[in-house]
A and B are shown apart, each in its own frame.
Chain A
């Protein structure tokens, strides 16, 4: 069965600094990969997803993630964070041909002024 590991439960970073949120998955077959964001007291929203094709995917608010098959990783990055990026970020995986999504435990991003 597939699984997702988010190595950091919390990441503090200064405003306008770069950030990387790490995500590793395990699966013996092809996968789809997702990053979801959860702002305080809200539901989850899709940030970006990798289905196929280019291994670098981008979101409309400046985040990007790169699928690395050899390292089974899908790390999320942003070159310059803003206070509004304060949220919890969840990495998720589903097997190609399956309709279940498995979530990691989440990484809480703290933006320091």
Chain B
């Protein structure tokens, strides 16, 4: 079974530029998450999708971050314009049925450095 795929793995941009990250979850997983992991901290949930609908985006900085999952499969997270404090690893994850305690599976992350 293929895992959660993310690209690009690494990105360096200047502040005020834009960047987009792509995620393809495990086949059949209805729930998709984007987490932000700043160095030295645990992952923080940015947005959660159930199929192509948003379940929770309460911690997404909506003035600069946006995310979509148009067909209920893959997803894109965009940052525009980027700030220095956006430097982090952006983790995509998916699950089939967390309500019954199923595991959340993570991709390897997209490492963003804003200079």
Contacts and interface: CB of A to CB of B under 8 A. Distances in A.
Interface stretch (B11-19, B60-68, B80-88, B91-99): B91-99
A97 B99 contact: yes
Interface string A81-113: 000000000101010011111111110000000
B50 to A, nearest CB: 8
A103 B55 contact: no
Given A43-B106, A44-B106, A101-B104, A94 B42 contact: no
A75 to B, nearest CB: 17
A83 to B, nearest CB: 22
A37 B42 CA distance: 11
Among A42, A44, A49, A100, the most chain B Cβ lie within 10 Å of the Cβ of: A44
A99 B42 contact: no
A49 B103 contact: yes
B31 interface: yes
A63 B55 CA distance: 34
Interface in B1-48: 4, 31, 35, 40-45, 48
A105 B108 contact: no
Given A32-B101, A51-B101, A99-B48, A106 B56 contact: no
A97 to B, nearest CB: 6
Contacts of A94: 98
Contacts of A11: none
A101 B56 CA distance: 12
Interface in A37-66: 41-46, 49, 51-52
A23 to B, nearest CB: 11
B101 A90 contact: no
Contacts of A52: 101
Nearest to B108: A43
A5 B89 CA distance: 21
Contacts of A98: 98-99
A77 B98 CA distance: 25
Contact of A99 (B43, B55, B107): B55
Q: Which 9 A-B pairs have the closest CB atoms?
A: A103-B42, A51-B101, A99-B98, A43-B106, A43-B108, A44-B106, A105-B42, A103-B43, A46-B103
